[in-house]
Structure formats: C-alpha cells, structure tokens
Structure 1
Amino acid sequence: MPGRKMSDGIQERIKRLILDRRLAPGAALPTETDLMALLGVSRNSVREALKALQAMGIVEIRHGFGTYVGPMSLAPLVEGLSFRTVVGHYQGRDSLLELLELREAVETGLVARVVGRIPEEDLALLAGLVDRMRAEAEKEDVHAETDRAFHLALYRALGNDLLSELLDAFWDAFHRVRTDLAERHQDPRVTWRQHHEILDAVRSGDAAGAEDAVRRHFDDIRRRLATAARSHH
C-alpha cells in the first residue's frame, strides 16, 4: 500500500497546484518534466498520478500535446452509478429501483421550488418539448433525448449548475442501465400526458400539484419496473 499512498499524495499535490495557480478547465498543466522537478518525484510516479486524475475528469491527457485541466464533468459518476446498478441487479438487488428512487427524491424535492421562478422563455421551451413528445407519441416512441431535455429545462431556473449536472448524471445513469435491464417501455401517450400534467401545474403556479404530478410520473415508472422484474423471474 505504500505505493498507493504515494500516488494519492502526488494526486493531491497536483490538485493543489491547479487550485493555487487558479487554472481553469482547458488550461495547460506543467510538463511531466516540470512536474517531476516541482514535486520531486519520478516520471512514472507523475504519469501514474495523472492517469488517476484523468479517470476522475480532473485532468485531460492529450497525447503529443500535453496535459490540461479537465472539464470537471460528472462522467465518472455516471459510469460508477451505471456499473454499480448492473452489478447489484445481477446480485439479486432491486438496484435499478434504488437508482429511480434517488432521482425521484431529488426531483420531487425540487419541483415546488421552481414554481413561479421559471422565465417565460423556459416555459415556452417546456411547452415546445411537450408538443414534441405528443408528436413522437403519435409515432409510438417518445425519444429519450426529448425527455432528458424536459427534465433539464424544468430545473434550470434554479440557477445551480452543479444541480443541473447532477440531475443529468442521474438521468443518464438510469436510462443507460434501464436499456440493458428493463425491457418493458412506457406507453408513449402516458409519457406525454404525464409531462403535460407537470407543465400545467408549474405554469399555473400550483406547487403541490407539480409535486404530485412528478410523483405520479415516478410511481408509474416504478410499477413498470416491478412488472418487468416479475416477468424475468
């Protein structure tokens, strides 16, 4: 474990360097040689630490060009959540339901807060997305990206970038895993109607109604997951 502790220590020092120099995403980091001199460690130690930081999205290694501050995205979280859910499923746990309940807890806790705060342009965007869902439902398939765009636009008025990224990460992980583990899909007309109900409550200033509409949406997904799980046994 000494090697692991040393690598962790180098990672922390590189992160501290990024903070101390106020390096923004996309900014170039010192070269490997410069990092070796700054940190007093070997080239292999620097490379090992950089690879670990790249896996976390903290740095980006562009071979032939250098190393840069990474985008700080939540992509590693999505990968971890997705794989953990699949592993749990094959161990006999209701891990997809657990992931759904995580999304539900966040969204039902937030939707009442956006009521009365969504600007007209975002309400118009949400209405356009609901109209698109209706058109897609008539062709028997509400596209996943339309659903994703609706949920992102709904909470954008909160002005919290981290929250938006986290909601998107939960959505991405859930839908990525559901494609593999749950074959039963929702009636697209139900999908459209439920999102229409959420928008109607938000637009009319009905915070309690908006929360109820979101909860009904998740309750329906939960029932379908339970039905799909029984059909596999």
Structure 2
Amino acid sequence: MPERDVPEWFARAEEAFDPIHKRVAAAIKKHDLPTQLSLAPQEAVYFFVHAMEIAYEANKAGIHANALSQTRYCIEALAIIELGMCRAKGREAILEKWLQGKASPGKIRQWLASEVWPSYGTGLWSESWEDYMAKLAGAVQPYAHYTSQLAQWQSRLHFASPGERTAYIESGPIVYDPQKATRITLYHSILNYTLGRIWLANSTATDSEFSGIVTRLGDALGKSRYLDGHQTDWDQQFWAMVWDGRTGSPHLE
C-alpha cells in the first residue's frame, strides 16, 4: 500500500516484531521447568512462529481463508508459551496434564485467568486481561473447521461506488481482498502485542525501552477503525464481511 495509506499500527507492528520475538525466544529457554516438560514451551514458540509465517505468506498471496485457519493455531500455542514464561505455582501440573492430553487450550486459559492474568492489568483499553483474551480467542474460534463462515474469506465483496448499496461477490481459486488481508495482518499484530505484554508481565528485568515499544504498538492498535474504538464486541470485526455503516462500503484502515 502507498506510504500515506499505511496505518500507524502497521508501522508500530514492524518496529516491535524483532524486539518481541527475540525476548520471548530468550525467555522461553530460561523457564526452570523439569526436564520432561522443558521442550513443550520451546516447541510452542516454534509452532507459533511457523504458523504465523505460513499465514503471512498465504494472506499475501490472497489465500485468506487458509491464512486465517493457520492463524487460529497461534492462539492455542500462545497458552503453552505463557506456561513456559510465567512462574505461577501449579504451572508444571497443568502443563503435564496438557502433555498427557488431559487439558485443552481452553482449560489452560481458564487456569491462566485464575492464577496469572489478574496481575497483567488491562488489555488494549480499560478491559480486563481476561476479557481481552476472550475476545482475542473468540475472534478466530469460528474458523476451527471449514465451515460456511470460513469459506466467506475466499471471496471479495465489491461495491459499485462509495455509498452504493448494490454489490457483487467475486469468487475464484484465489481472490485477493485488500480489506481481508489488512484485517488478518492486524490480528497478527495483536498477537505479537500480546506476546510482548506477556513478556513484560513475567520478566524480572526492567526494560523501559521495550516497554515503550509495546505500549506504542498497543496504543496504535487501539485506534484502528477495525476495532471500533474499544467496543466490547471488537472480535466481530474479524467476521468475513465487514463494512462501514456510514458509507455502505468496506473500510480499509
């Protein structure tokens, strides 16, 4: 997109990407977990990064439904990464249950909500971290399987002109939709912001420079029109078809 059209959150996300991932990669190697549990958080980091890379390439190519499906996996890996970074009592037991197939990612998030998240503060705005994470997971939960909801990400909605309410749907093997591509990129940026916040909440080191990077990213994300200015249903902005009610056309910011 032309430089003048690049939203602030996109520029802040690029600034934050390397600092966030480098710190998380280093922190996950110092998890102080028993040997039999030690690989799980590290492998979750690998999985998270690879899933996002696959999603990024698919999204850029216009294969948005597949990109979104891959993106959903990141949420599940995020819970295991967080178990490797927090120091809350009981994390070894819940991680052991996950390895045995006795604790789902949803159960792990419930445990985190009870034992870890109360110390994190607010999310993107004034909502609790638990509410923020519920919206983050809920935004992509409908895409756990190939349903009609996910299939809608394979098409593009065209309006004849701004303000026009007559539209047509373009469908094909690959249909690049700039709005869908932008929203998936926004979600990736929110995921990386979440990783940065998790690191800050669990680090014993003071890193004011990094804190500033993450804070600037969060502030910029919170101003995106796609999130509608901290509406409680911001997760619905990741439905397939989203348009500006004032103009009747897709918004692209």
- TM-score, structure 2 as length reference: 0.22
Higher relative contact order (CA 8 A, sep 6+): 2
Larger Rg: 1 or 2? 1
